[in-house]
Every structure is written in C-alpha cells, then in structure tokens.
C-alpha cells in the first residue's frame, strides 16, 4: 500500500500532470458555472482528448474536471439563482437571497470552502475504504458478480427517474446496445445489420456525446434558453476568507459524511446528498428560520454534501465495477478504453494507478480552491455568456470529439443518432443514467451470467444457492418493491384514518 | 380529441419502445447465428438478447396497461391544462438537419468551410445574436480548432476532396 501511495504522489506531482489538473479544474469550473451545462457533459467532452495520454494522466485530467465542475454549480446558483448543476439546487435556496442582500462573496466563499472540505474528506474516504472493499470483492465469482451488477442496475433504475418501469426500460435498452457487435464468448456477430462498423459494437463515447451533449443542445435550442442577467455582486471589493466557514465547521463535516454514505450507493448522487444534508442541517440548526432566506449554514451543508459524493462514488466503481453515477460511469468507460477492467483485480494488478486516482482527488481539490479564489471576479462575466454563442461552441466540440475517436464520420453519425434518442428520452422523461450505465456494464452482466450458467450446466438455481448471490437478489427485490408496499400501506392507513 | 387519439398521445413512448423491442426480438434469428459446437448448456449468443428484448416488450406492455388505468382514474378530474413550457420542435428539427448536412458535406468541402456554415446556421436558428458575433464565433471554431488538433494531438480533420 505504502509503495503504491508513494508512486501515486510521484506521478501526480509530475509537472505535466499538475498542468493537466489545472486545465481540468478550469474546464470543469467553466462548465459547472454555466447553467444548462453539466459536469457529465464536461467529462464526456474531455474524454476523447485523454486517449493520447497515459491512463494516469487521462484520469488526472478527468478528476480535475469532475471535482471543480461539481463545485462550480454553486456559482451560478448563488449569483443568478440558476444552479449550474442539479446538485447545486439546494445551494440556490440560500445563495441567491444572500446575493440580493449584497452578500454574494460571503456566500461564494462559504460555498468554495465547504466544497473543498467535502471533496477532501471524500478523497480520504476513497483512500481508506476502497482497498478494504476491494479485498472483500475478491471473493466474488461469476454468480455473485452477476447478482451484484443486476442489483446495481435495478437500484440505478429505481432512483434515477420518476417511474421504475421507465428506468428499467432505459437500462434494458442500454444492455441491448451493449450486445451489438461480436459476442465476447463465442465470437458470433450480433445486430450488425451487415454494417462493418457495427461489428466492433456501438462506440461508448459516441453514445455518451450523443445522449448527454447533443441531446442537451437540442433541448436548449428547443427551449430557446437565454442566460439571465444577474445583479451586480460585490466580488470586486472583498476577498475570500476561511473564517466565514469556521462557525459551520460541524455542519460541513456532518454533511460531507452524508455525501460519502450516499455517494457509495450506486445510482444516487450529489442532488440527493445535498437535499438530505440541507434538511439535516436545518433540523439541527440553531437558526432554522434563516434557511431559505439566506443561511450560510444551508450553503455549507449543500455544498459539502455534493462534493462529498465526488470521490465516494468511485468506491463502488473501482472496487466492484458498479458506477455510482453518470460521471463515475464515464470514468469506468475511460478505464476500459485504456485497457483496464475495473473490479477488485484492478487493486491487485494496478495498485499504483488506483492510488494515483485517489491522490489526484486531493490535488484537484487543492487546485480548485486556489483557482476558485482567483477566478471569482470573472464568474460574473462567464455566467452571462449567451446560449447563442455557447451552444455552437459545445456542438463543434461534440462533433470534433466524436470524429477523433475513430477518425471517421461513423462516430459522428452514432453521436447524432443518440442525440436524437437522448432528446426523446428527455421529452418522454426516460432517465438516461440507467442506459449509459447498462451500456458500460452490459459486457460484464452477460459474461458473468453465461459463465454462471455454464458452471451450473444451464441451471439458474446457481444464483440462489450461493449466499452472497442470494443476498443480492433479495436486496434487489426489496429495493424494487418496498417503495410500492410502503405507498400502499400509507394509503390504507390514511384511508382507514379518514373512515 | 378522440379517445384513440388520447390513448396514442399518452402512450407514444411506450408504443415506440414496444415496437423496438418487438423488432429486435424478431430480428434475432436473422441477426445472430449460433454454432452448435459452442452451444454450452443451452446458453448461447442469443440468450441475453432474447431475455432483454422480452423484458422490454413486457415492461412496455405493463406501462401501456398501467397508463390506461391511470387515465381512467384521472379522466373525470382533468381540466384543459396548458403545457408549462412551449418547445419549438421546428428549431430542433432544423438543428438536426444542419448537423446531418455537416456530416454529408464535410468529406467534400472540408472541416473549416462546413463548420463555418454549421455554426452560422445554428446561431441563426437560436437567434438573438449579431452578425459580427456570428462571424467571430464561426471563424474561431473552424481554423484554430483544426490547426490546434493537427499541431498538438496529431488529429487531422477532413480537408475536403474539393480542395484536397
């Protein structure tokens, strides 16, 4: 462990990797601060540019984008009452009232400090808990792996949308897309429709660009989104100070831990974490009446929780191969593209790389802090870039990114098709996260299922006779049906009460 | 609107997923071959696609049926609701056509010229921008990006058969 840790430090502190972290955090900050642009979009667009880098450098760049993008959502939430990322929605409740009172810099300062502390605590959790979980996961055989991925997909489908059936359909389409190409076990082509390009399967990154970026561009064009003008803030006149966060120290620590716990559960994410932490901070606050009217404690809770998720969400991703959210799914995709299969074996075979990821999270948060301090004066201007200028820039980046992956227009065609699919999913309220995660996990799901059935001579009982596998299936049933049972029970109780 | 119209409008996405599921289910025999020698324990290349397509069909049917029952319940209390947000599908369609044309034309005219055309079109579709903004953004996104990718990442974007 110690050698890997030293190796990680030596890699992260190479000058080219420090430059990549600085560039990554700058990109993430701009994307996160702009309403309508998400961290997922930023990570997706940067991903094709990591192909020419080493796996370590590529992941370091993505880490910078991820950490600062998650934080920067709070900037537009505070300044113009429009969360840059969904996880910053709770920040806007207290951030914008403070801006209206002329205290925007105080709010931004608390947001930055809480984000950095949340991110650092999350990185420490990743360093300590991921190797422990990986050791446990080493005992997993094909039936356990199948049951676990099945459980992960179900929980993601359950929590990522309003309807379970829509979430499951989305995940199933992801599995179907993953099955396109040559069958990994028997080498038989599937759903190639006599097209040479489809023999290699549908490109993962092209799908991401389509579903996340092009679909969002269509959505913004359809809505004719115009960036709102915000009031003049006081960022030119003051500086950011640590003392503003000190009274909220306990809230920050507690909210960061909430973020870590929620981040570890696949399918959850910063949004849920920030709302739960905000609610908990309000419940335990000495001044709950200030919440929603301009409470610094509320900002501290929401921001430390959503940044607490960042590294924690990589714990199941790296150890079990189950991405915690869409950004973690793209991280997983990045590892696969670099020829690395996530899972417990990765800690055995690529310990240095694993610790590099962990250390890069700490470094990214430190760089993010200094960049945040320096860039705060410019955020007023950045958040006002009109969508008529912004969208063509992002569209061009999407087209270039999709082209550079395979050096052919096939990638751009796939991205455009999935852009239309993604747009239809937005309009019909199908969550995209289960589909994307299923595309990534599809190969693992099928391989482990078929290996298990071969081991048991075709009997599906193998999934129910092994304790761990059975436990995951019981959990799957519980997660799927418990909300319905609780809903029915509450309905009956209320009905009974009224009668 | 007639009851069949209401039914179609409320279930258009589920009907679409049902049709796609059926299409994939029926195309499995023609799209996925099986080799008897490697058919282990009844599990083969078709097993997973069959399971997935069946599940999509069943879930789509379930969604349609549950929508019918849900509609029956709310039909009596439903008023003439106006949608909260108006979407301009015409603009989205024009943007789609512009990107599709970019894909068709780029091998002939090259990245620079087609990107200038695309960016100009998209900015006009979105509206609320001045001609000099269009000119600056279009030029900034074509030549500099092409040069940077070639010089830094050694990625060469199409130069166009007309000019190449």
8 Å CB contact of B53 and A176: yes
Distance from CA of A238 to the nearest CA of B (A): 33
- A389–chain B Cβ distance below 8 A for any pair: yes
8 Å CB contact of B141 and A458: no
Mean predicted confidence (pLDDT) in A361-389: 80
ipTM above 0.85, yes or no: yes
Interface of A with B in 185-214 (CB under 8 A): 185-186, 188-193, 214
Token duo for residue A121: 């605590």
What percentage of chain B has pLDDT greater than the value 70? Answer: 76
Chain A residues inside the 8 Å CB shell of B13: 424, 428, 430
Mean predicted confidence (pLDDT) in B137-153: 84
What distance in Å separates the CA atoms of residue A444 and residue A146, rounded to the nearest whole number?
A: 8
Say which residue the tokens 């030596």 belong to: A10
Q: DSSP letter string over A13-39?
A: TSHHHHHHHHHHHHHHHHHHHSTT--H
- According to the model, what pLDDT value does residue A82 have? 65
What distance in Å separates the CA atoms of residue B129 and residue A203, rounded to the nearest whole number?
A: 35
What distance in Å separates the CA atoms of residue B78 and residue A90, rounded to the nearest whole number?
A: 32
- CA nearest neighbour of A26 among A77, A64, A83, A60: A64
Give the lowest-confidence range in A218-227, A245-254, A282-291, A476-485.
A218-227
The number of folded domains in chain A is 1
Q: Which residue has the higher pLDDT, A388 or A421?
A: A421
* Nearest chain B alpha carbon to A181: B32
Give the lowest-confidence range in A15-19, A119-123, A416-420, B1-5.
B1-5
pLDDT band at A93 (very low <50, low <70, confident <90, very high): confident
State how far the alpha carbon of A330 is from the alpha carbons of A22, A56, A181, A287, B55, in Å.
20, 15, 20, 40, 26
Token duo for residue B125: 């579709």
The pLDDT mean for chain A works out to 81
8 Å CB contact of B55 and A179: no
What distance in Å separates the CA atoms of residue A372 and residue A117, rounded to the nearest whole number?
A: 14
Residue A48 three-state SS: helix
Q: What is the pLDDT of residues A317-334, one digit of tens each?
A: 887 777 767 788 888 888
pLDDT of B164 above 70: no
pLDDT band at B69 (very low <50, low <70, confident <90, very high): confident
What distance in Å separates the CA atoms of residue A39 and residue A347, rounded to the nearest whole number?
A: 27
Q: Residue A229 has what DSSP assignment?
A: P
Q: Which domain holds residue A485?
A: 2-498
What percentage of chain A has pLDDT greater than the value 90? Answer: 8
Interface of A with B in 75-94 (CB under 8 A): none
Q: What is the pLDDT of residues A144-175, one digit of tens each?
A: 878 878 887 787 777 666 678 888 899 999 99
**Highest-confidence segment of A13-27, A29-43, A69-83, A251-265:** A13-27
- Pairing between β-strand A181-182 and β-strand A189-190 as defined by DSSP bridges: antiparallel
8 Å CB contact of B123 and A413: no
Task: Convert A468-499 to b/e letters by CB count within 10 Å (16 or more is b).
Answer: bbeebbeebeebbeeeeeeeeeeeeeeeeeee
CB A208 within 8 A of CB A44: yes
Give the lowest-confidence range in A110-124, A430-444, B75-89.
B75-89
Question: Would you tell me how many other CB atoms lie within 10 Å of the CB of residue A377?
Answer: 12
8 Å CB contact of A396 and B141: yes
8 Å CB contact of B122 and A430: no
Burial label for A109, CB within 10 Å (0-12, 13-18, 19+), is buried
Q: What is the pLDDT of residues A96-128, one digit of tens each?
A: 888 878 788 888 888 888 989 998 988 888 887
Q: Which residue has the higher pLDDT, A88 or A177?
A: A177
- CA nearest neighbour of B136 among B126, B128, B144: B144
* Nearest chain A alpha carbon to B129: A388
């Amino acid at each position: 462990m110690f050698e890997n840790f030293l190796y990680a430090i030596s890699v992260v502190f190479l000058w080219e990797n420090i430059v990549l972290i600085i560039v990554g955090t700058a990109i993430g900050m701009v994307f996160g601060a702009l309403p309508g642009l998400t961290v997922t979009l930023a990570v997706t667009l940067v991903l094709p540019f990591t192909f020419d880098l080493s796996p370590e450098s590529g992941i370091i760049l993505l880490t910078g984008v991820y950490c600062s993008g998650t934080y920067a959502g709070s900037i537009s939430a505070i300044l113009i009452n429009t969360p840059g990322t969904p996880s910053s929605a709770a920040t806007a409740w207290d951030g914008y009232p403070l801006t209206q009172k002329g205290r925007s810099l105080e709010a931004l300062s608390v947001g930055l400090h809480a984000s950095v502390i949340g991110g650092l605590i999350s990185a420490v959790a990743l360093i300590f808990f991921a190797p422990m979980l990986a050791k446990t996961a080493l005992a997993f055989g094909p039936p356990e792996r199948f049951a676990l991925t099945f459980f992960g997909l179900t929980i993601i489908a359950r929590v990522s949308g309003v309807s379970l059936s829509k979430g499951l359909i989305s995940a199933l389409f992801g599995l179907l897309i993953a099955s396109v190409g040559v069958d990994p076990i028997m080498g038989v082509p599937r759903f190639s429709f006599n097209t040479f390009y489809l023999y290699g399967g549908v490109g993962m990154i092209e799908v991401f660009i389509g579903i996340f970026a092009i679909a969002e561009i269509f959505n913004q064009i359809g809505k004719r989104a115009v960036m709102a003008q915000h009031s003049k803030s006081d960022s030119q006149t003051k500086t950011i100070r640590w003392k503003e966060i000190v009274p909220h120290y306990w809230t920050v620590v507690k909210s960061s831990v909430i973020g870590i716990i929620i981040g570890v559960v696949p399918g959850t994410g910063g949004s849920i974490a920030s709302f739960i932490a905000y609610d908990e901070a309000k419940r335990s606050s000495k001044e709950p009446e200030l919440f929603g009217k301009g409470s610094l404690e509320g900002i501290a809770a929401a921001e430390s929780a959503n940044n607490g998720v960042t590294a924690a969400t990589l714990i199941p991703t790296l150890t079990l191969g189950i991405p915690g959210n869409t950004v973690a799914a793209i991280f997983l995709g990045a590892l696969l593209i670099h020829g690395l299969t996530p899972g417990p074996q990765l800690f055995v075979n690529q310990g240095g790389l694993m610790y590099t990821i962990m250390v890069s999270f700490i470094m990214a948060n430190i760089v993010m802090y200094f960049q945040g301090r320096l860039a705060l004066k410019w955020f007023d201007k950045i958040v006002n870039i009109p969508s008529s200028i912004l969208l063509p820039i992002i569209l061009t980046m999407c087209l270039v990114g999709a082209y550079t992956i395979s050096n052919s227009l096939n990638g751009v065609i796939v991205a455009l098709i999935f852009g239309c699919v993604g747009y239809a999913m937005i309009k019909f309220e199908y969550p995209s996260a289960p589909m994307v995660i299923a595309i990534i996990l599809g190969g693992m799901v099928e391989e482990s299922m078929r290996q298990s059935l071969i081991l048991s001579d075709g009997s599906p009982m193998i999934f129910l006779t092994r304790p761990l596998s059975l436990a995951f299936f019981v959990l799957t049933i519980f997660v799927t049906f418990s909300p319905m049972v609780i809903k029915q029970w509450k309905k009956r109780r209320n009905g009974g009460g009224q009668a | 609107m007639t009851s069949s119209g209401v039914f179609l409008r409320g279930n258009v996405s589920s009907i679409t997923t049902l049709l796609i599921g059926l299409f994939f289910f029926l195309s499995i025999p023609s799209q996925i071959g099986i080799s008897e020698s490697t058919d282990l324990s009844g599990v083969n290349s078709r097993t997973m696609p069959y399971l997935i397509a069946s599940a999509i069909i069943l879930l789509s049917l379930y969604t349609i049926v549950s929508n019918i029952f849900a509609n029956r319940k709310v039909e009596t209390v439903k008023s003439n609701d106006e949608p909260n947000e108006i979407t301009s599908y015409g603009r989205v369609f024009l943007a789609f056509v512009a990107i599709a044309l970019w894909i068709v034309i780029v091998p002939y005219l090259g990245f620079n010229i087609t990107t200038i055309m695309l960016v100009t079109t998209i900015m006009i579709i979105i509206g609320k921008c001045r001609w000099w903004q269009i000119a600056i953004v279009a030029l900034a996104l074509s030549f500099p990006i092409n040069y940077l990718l070639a010089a830094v990442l050694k990625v060469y974007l199409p130069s166009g058969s007309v000019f190449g």
